[in-house]
Amino acid sequence: MHGSASRTGVANLPLHYGKAPRWLFQRMSRLAREISIIIVSDFGADELLRRLSDPYWFQALGCVLGYDWHSSGVTTTVCGALKDGLKGLEKDLGLFVAGGKGATSRKTPAEIEAFGSQISVDPAGLVYASRMSAKVDSAALQDGYQLYHHCFFFTQKGDWAVVQQGMNEDNRYARRYHWLGEGVGDFVCEPHAAICSDGRGEVLNLVARESTPARTTITAVSTEQPLQSTMADLNKLRTLDLPARHQIYIEDIHPDRLGKGLAIIYDRQPRGFEELLSLEHVGPKTVRALSLISELIYGVPASYRDPARFSFAHGGKDGIPFPVDRQTYDQSIDLLAKAIQRSKIDVSEKREAFRRLDGSFRRPG
């Protein structure tokens, strides 16, 4: 189970304060339930996972349900509406939702395990996928966004998708990460198929393909070199004249505080970077320190390329910054339109849902 993962996208969204009023959230939950039932009935639960892992389709769903196109709150609200709307239908649909925002996100493993009797696979593999997707986007891809929301969708036969979001306290933007558990067999090397973001920057990207030598060196340093030598290298880093891009990292290197994580790695002797990353107490600062040792002591740099490839809000007919995928757009419009038409909601709600659908996909380009 843990070898099959695909992160499909990232979206940068501005922070909007407030939350959906209860009367709106109840309607969002009902419409989310109806759309989900129709998609699962017609195409299967796997297809709904694929749709949720598409940042564009997810955002359009948020518009249809009644939320802003360009707002960070769409992530938590849509995931919350899906979880609430599908409650009690999980076994019938073969589709389950765990996790959520803040403290609820930390309950994801327990919620997955609670559904164990209703699924045909060992829930331990799903728990691993949940934890690793969060670990990758917090420690292996260090882009300045702290995760605060993690929603895990999975089927009766063990297929899964993740929608999670982080917040950047400096620019007050949120960044959303989508994962789809099919097609790619490596959590730590290019696990995504597409990434959408309104902003790009220089980040520590240890899941980039060009970071493969760094991942190998990091593992070797932490497992083959005696712990005392690694600690000595950390102290050496604090006295080096570092490149400008490292100024945001070096201030966090305190060998005395990193000792616990490094000791765990050395004792466990992980067989590769993925296993290293999965260890408890191995977080962003430990990974960052090992990355700096890899680059500055052993001459093996990691990638600092932001994996964002597409602008979320500005695709248009001129093809800048990306060409509109008309076939995908048309398929998404058709699928959502049919789901709305067949849903068991009243005419006025259907009319409003169609208006929002039209506005989300047919905005000026």
- Quote the pLDDT of residue 69: 47
Find the mean pLDDT for residues 195-212: 80
Q: Which of 176-190, 286-300, 302-316 has the highest mean pLDDT?
A: 286-300
Find the mean pLDDT for residues 192-199: 60
- Quote the pLDDT of residue 301: 93
Is residue 159 over pLDDT 90? yes
* More reliable by pLDDT, 99 or 202: 99
Q: What percent of the chain has pLDDT over 70?
A: 78
* More reliable by pLDDT, 128 or 363: 128
CA 273 to chain centre: 19
* More reliable by pLDDT, 183 or 211: 211
- Quote the pLDDT of residue 149: 95
- Quote the pLDDT of residue 65: 86
Dihedral in degrees, nearest 10, Cα atoms 284, 287, 290, 294: -110
Is residue 212 over pLDDT 60? yes
Q: Find, among 52, 39, 12, 77, the residue nearest to 152 by Cα.
A: 52
Residues 347, 360: Cα–Cα separation, whole Å: 20
**Letter for the amino acid at 301?**
P
pTM of the model: 0.84
Q: Is the CB of residue 155 less than 8 Å from the CB of residue 94?
A: yes
pLDDT digits (tens, 9 = 90+) for 295-326: 988 999 999 888 765 544 433 333 433 444 56
Find the mean pLDDT for residues 232-247: 68
pLDDT digits (tens, 9 = 90+) for 82-114: 999 999 999 999 999 999 999 999 999 999 999
| Encoded tokens for 204 | 């520590």
- Quote the pLDDT of residue 247: 45
Q: Find, among 262, 255, 300, the residue nearest to 281 by Cα.
A: 262
Q: Find, among 183, 177, 186, 182, the residue nearest to 207 by Cα.
A: 186
- Quote the pLDDT of residue 242: 61
Q: Which residues pair with 95 in a beta bridge?
A: 155
- Quote the pLDDT of residue 1: 44
- Quote the pLDDT of residue 151: 97
pLDDT digits (tens, 9 = 90+) for 33-81: 999 999 999 999 999 999 999 887 888 888 888 755 455 678 899 999 9
- Quote the pLDDT of residue 318: 37
* More reliable by pLDDT, 153 or 308: 153
The chain-wide mean pLDDT, for the chain, equals 82
pLDDT digits (tens, 9 = 90+) for 248-271: 455 666 777 788 899 999 999 999
Residue 327 banded pLDDT, cuts 50, 70, 90: confident
